[in-house]
Structure 1
């Protein structure tokens, strides 16, 4: 892995703390099995999800997540080739029951943001106890930087994601399947990561020739989903910007926002932090949306955050796995739909 990307203490905590919340999530999710929409009478969460093992090294208990090099390891590819992945997922879907569906989902974390710089400067304890509730700091040399609300990628973060862009290009040449749907957190750091990773591949800017999106000959249009945002509340870096400010930057890159997306961040609370069990329900809600609405898209890319990827891992029953800034983890996911 490029020396730009490495695991730190905060990454490990994001991946391995709050283990009691995993069982609590399972309890909360089970209670929603029979919940129905009062207007339609249909189940609100008809899909159940599980990891299909054997495709990637990250689901192998022998893989050390503290030292795992996702770039050198071809994003964790465990099979002989990406062609094998494509064929096996295709075969799984061809042989699936009518209520079953398989997808390869890339869960990508944003590159280093200015808030991540803040954690490294002050230490995790002081960050959690004090600095996370502030909007920025001034260094002894007078340098000022901000991380809230909605921090941008740091210069290092942009370099990290550029390295991932190069790795994506290399894996595509080795046969990696191309995502046919892109989804993004509503935070600048994640949307910027998506743009830099896929720029001139599947993402291009207004005014650019669509042919310059050189893989498919057409632009992808990432959909922004609130369910992909980082852990809600308390930390100012996890309060999002206004919708209009976000779209001033990212609409030109083809981004659209989900229906009902509010102008202001109506979810952030200054004195409350979303527990992992609740965030995992939110991740499950995104998967419900994905499997219910995109049955023909077997390869999907999401750009989000360390806490959000941890929530997906919890919702899927995947082993806990540390994701560094700009890291990603591909997972083959089986969805099984209950009858309404």
Structure 2
């Protein structure tokens, strides 16, 4: 099948490109790096984005460090790490933001995860909501606006350095979250303009769920006409097919390739990067950079300090296969931990949803 072949080709290319950069999380700066921090209770707005109050080696190089905020001193520390690093090493702070609640999140809560995964997620929606390439719920909009308010608070009170570069997943929920989060902020002088690059490989893990099926390039351009869309972005989604799904390994390879387009592409003097994405994709990025598992709630944001090092190695050429995902053809009989299809409905691997994009 053409789409599956294309997906495998993408993964194989990602292995070859990503293997030339090694990523490491630099710990000791954020609470989210610490094993003692519980992701289920962590509130980034109550914890200064998780930045730990501490002294830095670079403090002694700044005569007035005593009058600086923690975020100003941290930015100075990252600047010095880059200044003192060789050409093949670069440090960046990735602000990883999960989109606000989407209608697919609400539907999964309503139906329960087992039933959602094996039947309802393969449909375009129900009589009250659509979740193919899901939009934000009112709650999701509030979560994105909460992030906007917190960024403004950090700018005003902590004089935080605003992102130098912005990237966003092409899924509707991520696009709208990024827009609500950063539009209208009273930014410091000389801050980079908020014009996020729409990047295919920062999308959610590609499953058979219709919420992972992105809309067209034309739709994205019409939604935010002034945002750049990366070169090579196809008009239609050529990765989702409703039959095969990425394994975690395949997604990690994709995430590593995406990071390869972020690092070593601009001056080391621009180290702060915002990436608005998804729970599964952020989890994948964290695996690639060697960070501990840290699941984000909808609308949450965590920064991580990452060291990237170019290595002189022969790139790997093997690819990571995608997987077939059987699902029910009728609403399932479920339990707390598993999904069971009705006896009359044998699990299939063909798409259940059709015609959604005819409305767009």
2:101 alignment partner in structure 1: 112
Q: Is the 8 A contact 2:162 2:191 kept in 1?
A: no
2:163 corresponds, among 173, 176, 179, to 179
Q: 1:274 to 1:71 in 2, by over 3 A?
A: same
Q: What is the match of residue 280 of structure 2?
A: 307
Helix, strand or coil at the partner of 1:290: coil
Greater gyration radius: 2
Are 2:257 and 1:268 aligned? no
CA distance in 2, matches of 1:106, 1:168: 11
- Say if 2:92 is the partner of 1:103: yes
SS in 2 for 1:336: strand
The equivalent position to 1:58 in structure 2, one of 32, 42, 50, is 32
Change (3 A) 1:236 1:79: same
1:291 matches 2:263? yes
Name which of 114, 120, 127 aligns with 2:116: 127
The separation in 2 between residues aligned to 1:288 and 1:45, in whole angstroms, is 9
Cα distance in 2 between the residues matched to 1:86 and 1:292 = 19
Partner SS for 2:224: helix
1:49–1:336 CA contact under 8 A, matched in 2:
yes
C-alpha deviation, 1:45, in angstroms: 3.7
User: Which residue of the other structure, out of 201, 205, 229, is the alignment partner of 1:231?
Assistant: 205
What's the CA shift for 1:215?
A: 5.1
**CA RMSD for the aligned pairs?**
2.0
1:153 matches 2:126: no
Q: Deviations over 1:107-133 (max 9, x none)?
A: 100000111110111111111111110
Superposition map of 1:274-285 within 5 A: 274-285=246-257
Specify whether residues 54 and 218 from structure 1 end up closer, same or farther in structure 2 by C-alpha distance, changes over 3 A only: closer
Return closer, same or farther for 1:109/1:44 CA change in 2, 3 Å cut-off.
Answer: closer
Q: Please, what TM-score do these two structures have when normalized by structure 1?
A: 0.80
- Asked if the contact 1:101/1:336 (under 8 Å) is kept, the reply is yes
Task: Output one character per residue of 1:316-335: Cα deviation in whole Å (capped at 9) or x when no partner.
Answer: 11000110000111000001
Deviation digits for residues 206-230 of structure 1 (CA, Å, limit 9, x no counterpart): xxxxxx7675477332111111000
Q: Structure 2 length as normaliser, TM-score? A: 0.75
Could you say if the C-alpha distance between residues 59 and 101 of structure 1 is closer, same or farther in structure 2, counting changes exceeding 3 Å? same
Name stretches of at least 5 consecutive residues in structure 1 with no aligned partner.
1-27, 36-42, 139-143, 202-211
Paired residue total: 285
2:316 corresponds to: none
Q: Secondary structure at the match of 2:24?
A: strand
Task: List per-residue Cα deviations over 1:289-325 (Å, max 9, x = no partner).
Answer: 1113123320000110000000001101100011000
How far, CA to CA, are the matches of 2:274 and 2:175 in structure 1? Answer: 12
**For residues 14-53 of structure 1, what are the structure 2 equivalents within 5 Å?**
32=15, 35=16, 45-53=19-27
- The whole-number CA distance in structure 1 between the counterparts of 2:86 and 2:264 is 15
Residue aligned with 1:102, SS:
strand
